[in-house]
Every structure is written in structure tokens, then in C-alpha cells.
Amino acid sequence: MNEMSRADLHVHSTASHVSKLGVQRSLEIPECATDPVEVYELAKRRGMDFVTITDHDTIDGVLSLAHLPDTFISEELTASFRGEPQAVHVLCYGITPTDHDWLQANRGDV
């Protein structure tokens, strides 16, 4: 990676099953209809040096790309502050499956 490397750091795939957004969630519409491999191919065609997918609370989509060059594992974590009703989304980059498991286990107490 150099100071001019390109990557889209907030991308979803079909692994973000049901949207976290109000109307989409109530209608059970997915966040994205693009397959992870298609996300990778499109990013590369658009000149991205690195590709990641930040699906909601899952790394399943990006794991299907892990064997491809220039990828790294990320996710969009839905987290809560203890005692607060409002959740927040936190983008987590360069994580491992073990990190993902820990984040999911602890996301209710940021």
C-alpha cells in the first residue's frame, strides 16, 4: 500500500441480508443485491487497489474473497452503549475471524 492507494471502505454485498434501515427493514429488503465476487470485480474495474466488504455484522461475504489478491476483512458492526437505546454503526477494518467473533460477543457494551 502507498499513500495514493484506492479502496472503497464502505461497501455491502448480499451477505448483509436484511437492511438495518427503517423502511427497507420493515419490508425485509436486503441492504444490497450484489454478490461479493461481483463487488470485487466491479471495484477492480473502477480502479481500486484494495477491496473489502463491510457487511452488517457479518464477514461471510468478504471471507468469500479472502483468497483473491488485494483484499482485507472488514465489517460494519452494529454496537450499543450500555444503557442506551440507540445503536451505532462502527466500521471495523483489517480484522480476523477471531476479531469478528469478539466484536460480535461484545457489541452490546461499547
Q: Which pLDDT does position 18 carry in this prediction?
A: 64
User: Which DSSP category does 51 fall into?
Assistant: B
Q: Which pLDDT does position 21 carry in this prediction?
A: 64
Q: Which pLDDT does position 20 carry in this prediction?
A: 64
Residue 86, all three cell numbers: 440507540
pLDDT tens-digit map of 39-98: 999 999 999 999 999 999 999 999 999 999 999 999 999 999 888 888 899 999 999 999
Q: How many helices (H) and strands (E) does the chain have?
A: 4, 2
Q: Which pLDDT does position 15 carry in this prediction?
A: 92
Residue tagged 483489517 (cell numbers): 94
Structural domains for the chain: 22-106 (3.20.20.140)
Residue 90, all three cell numbers: 462502527
The three-class DSSP label of residue 18 is coil
E-strand stretches of 50-100: 74-80, 87-93
Predicted confidence band of residue 1 (pLDDT cuts 50, 70, 90): low
pLDDT tens-digit map of 6-48: 999 999 999 987 666 667 667 777 778 899 999 999 999 999 9
Q: Which pLDDT does position 87 carry in this prediction?
A: 87
CB atoms within 10 A of CB 32: 19
